[in-house]
Structure 1
Amino acid sequence: MGKTFVITVGLMAMVMVLVREIALLPDGKLHLHLLDVGQGDAVLLVAPSGAQILIDGGPDLSTLSHLDALMPFLDRTIDLLVITHPDADHISALPDVLRRYDVAQVLMTGAEHSSGRYDALRAEIADSSIPVIHPDPAIDIVIGSVVLDIVWPTPLYTGSSNDQSIVLRVLYKEHSILLTGDIEEDAENAILASGANIESDILKVAHHGSRTSSSTGFLLAVDPDLGLISAGRDNRFGHPHEDVSSRFIHFSIPIKTTAREGVISMKF
């Protein structure tokens, strides 16, 4: 009786693992996962080919648990790691990510920033001899059928750390997603002045919905069908700010937040 029970439980566990692995096989679609990392930022994109792109790493090691759940068990490769800017709420898990996964290349700015976390991250990248790309709007990064259009920053821009955040427009077939890091209104205005095409179906709202971002002109230019916000539950900053929420309501743009929904997953 006991032995039969153990065998049955073991077989059920194997079936569950197999079902999970089959569900994670490439399905010809682009998958977007806005990870629930509290008051921070981390996004996992899975290309139709199965290639994996991680944008930022959140404020703590919860990012690792999300990657374990969303990536195939035997797949330890991240094809591109994007570090939008050096703030701790975007990078804290990344040294551990680099130790646990094989990261093929890193996209990051050369922004000066002095912190133990950022120094440890840069040291880990250097020690692992990972190729580093610096953002330049003149180039695109192509991963299979997915194009990452580098919108911002320009090589000579010297604004604040937040305003130097990497902004990417992700393109797949007729779909578009704008990922905005922590840019604030100065960078938004500079992007608008540059004439860059930022119209997108999905907007990952900048700076967790802070009142310093998502200006009226920027929202009009993006013209999204949906806004996504990464923010912690009952966070001390009051993100998303009521002014930002009101702007989205005014323009009839629905919002989803990780604070309310947990991990937000979409496929295209």
Structure 2
Amino acid sequence: MKNTTTTLKILKELLFRNILNILFFLLAIFFVVILKKTEIGQVEVIFLNVGQGDAILIQQGNYQILVDGGADDTVLYELAKYLPWYDKTIEKVVLTHPHADHINGLLLVLKNYTVGEVYYNPVEYPNLAYEYLKDTYNDILVEIKSGDVLEYEDIYGVALYPFEGEKIQEKNVNNSSVVMLFVLNGYKVLLMGDAEAELEEKLLDYTFLEGIDILKAGHHCSRTSSSISFLSFTQPTVAVCMCGIGNSLGHPHYETLEKFEKMNVQYFVTYRDGNIRFRF
């Protein structure tokens, strides 16, 4: 009887150890296979449908750059569709300018994610959200200027505006927008913020802007942006209009869409097409 009891104990211990080994094995498979599948191997850019506002996600692997955040918490729901569920870090954030439809959502991103650095143009502008950003996140704010680079694997981003040493602030804060050119695995993606024709004109000396693959058109495809001279110079293949359905400003303006059609530029509108995703 004693030998039988001892044998049963040994069998129970062996069974328990085997169960543990099987569980550890399955867990290892989960981390190696499942998590690997959720990583983004290719570089991609996603123009998030956040209503009347901008929010653009660029990512590769577990590395993310977020340009603007829209007007509200919609950005959080859209980001969750594309970021790996276990990744709560966004390495770089760019605020193009402090209008509510670009900054408000970013504050919520900063509360819900660990953010490495926030690049911005320190213009003067009366906005409580902007003041909160400067007061609360001063330790991760980085003043951006032309020539600054954001780089990771197949992602190469360079700031084109604001120009270094430019001291006079534009009265129209749209024309103080940070303008970024990203080269993603060889494809050129130009992000114009809310830049209007006056700022576009300042960029016409950059010969490397000829032949843009994707243009995030300035100011939600307003008639005040995407001038004929700028479109002729950059010759984009695709344009993206980021705006909300039924917005009070009437974006995208028909004049801008007519220019795209005249110049054979395929265009997408976030309120019509939803999130617009390109992989390279």
TM-score by length of 1: 0.86
- In structure 2, distance between residues paired with 1:23 and 1:258: 27
Cα distance change, pair 21–64 in 1 and its aligned pair in 2 (3 A):
farther
- In structure 1, distance between residues paired with 2:64 and 2:206: 30
Gaps of 5+ in 2: 1-29
1:119-176 residue CA offsets vs partner (Å, 9 max, x unmatched)? 12222312xx22x332222332222331111111113152121001011110123211
Q: Name whichever of 170-179 and 242-251 sits farther off.
A: 170-179
CA RMSD, Structure 1 to Structure 2 (Å): 1.9
Identity of aligned residues (%): 32
Q: Paired residue for 1:39?
A: 52
Q: Which secondary structure does the structure 2 equivalent of 1:99 belong to?
A: helix
Q: Residue 121 of structure 2 contacts residue 145 of structure 2 at CA under 8 Å; is this kept in 1?
A: no
Q: Is residue 2:121 matched to residue 1:134?
A: no
Q: Residue 24 of structure 1 contacts residue 70 of structure 1 at CA under 8 Å; is this kept in 2?
A: no
Q: Paired residue for 1:195?
A: 206
Q: Which secondary structure does the structure 2 equivalent of 1:221 belong to?
A: helix
Structure with bigger gyration radius: 2
Amino acid of the structure 2 residue aligned with 1:232: G
1:151-209 residue CA offsets vs partner (Å, 9 max, x unmatched)? 111131521210010111101232110000000111011111x4352231000111001
Q: Is residue 2:40 matched to residue 1:26?
A: yes
- In structure 2, distance between residues paired with 1:226 and 1:20: 34
- In structure 2, distance between residues paired with 1:176 and 1:196: 13
Q: How does 1:115-154 map to 2 (within 5 A)?
A: 115-126=127-138, 129-130=139-140, 132-154=141-163
Q: Paired residue for 1:243?
A: 255
Q: How big is the shift at 1:22?
A: 5.5
- In structure 2, distance between residues paired with 1:158 and 1:119: 18
Q: How big is the shift at 1:236?
A: 1.8
Q: How big is the shift at 1:93?
A: 1.4
Q: How does 1:80-91 map to 2 (within 5 A)?
A: 80-91=92-103
Q: Which secondary structure does the structure 2 equivalent of 1:168 belong to?
A: strand
Cα distance change, pair 133–196 in 1 and its aligned pair in 2 (3 A):
farther
Q: How does 1:210-249 map to 2 (within 5 A)?
A: 210-249=222-261
Q: Is residue 2:111 matched to residue 1:96?
A: no
Q: Name whichever of 149-158 and 198-207 sits farther off.
A: 149-158
Gaps of 5+ in 1: 1-16
Q: Residue 21 of structure 1 contacts residue 73 of structure 1 at CA under 8 Å; is this kept in 2?
A: no
Q: Residue 223 of structure 2 contacts residue 255 of structure 2 at CA under 8 Å; is this kept in 1?
A: yes
Amino acid of the structure 2 residue aligned with 1:150: A
Amino acid of the structure 2 residue aligned with 1:264: I
Q: Paired residue for 2:268?
A: 256
Q: How big is the shift at 1:23?
A: 4.8
Q: Which secondary structure does the structure 2 equivalent of 1:92 belong to?
A: helix
Q: Residue 59 of structure 1 contacts residue 92 of structure 1 at CA under 8 Å; is this kept in 2?
A: yes
Amino acid of the structure 2 residue aligned with 1:26: I
Q: Name whichever of 244-253 and 144-153 sits farther off.
A: 144-153
- In structure 2, distance between residues paired with 1:20 and 1:217: 49
